[in-house]
Amino acid sequence: MAGNACRMVAERFEQGFVRKCLYDFYDELLFSRN
């Protein structure tokens, strides 16, 4: 039970982290283009 919860939290954190990195990457692209 605890293992499943930890895995779910880890996956959610990973998704959020990847999304944040993508947003930062897009921001850099937009700023460098202008």
Tens digit of pLDDT at every position of the chain (34 positions):
678 988 998 899 999 999 999 999 999 988 887 6
Domain that holds residue 15: 1-34
Q: Rounded to an integer, what distance in angstroms lies between the CA atom of residue 23 and that of residue 10?
A: 20
Write out the E strands in the chain: none
- Tokens 């999304």 belong to which residue? 19
What's the confidence (pLDDT) of residue 32?
Answer: 82
- Model pLDDT, residue 31: 87
pLDDT of residue 24: 93
Domain count, the chain: 1
Judge if pTM exceeds 0.85. no
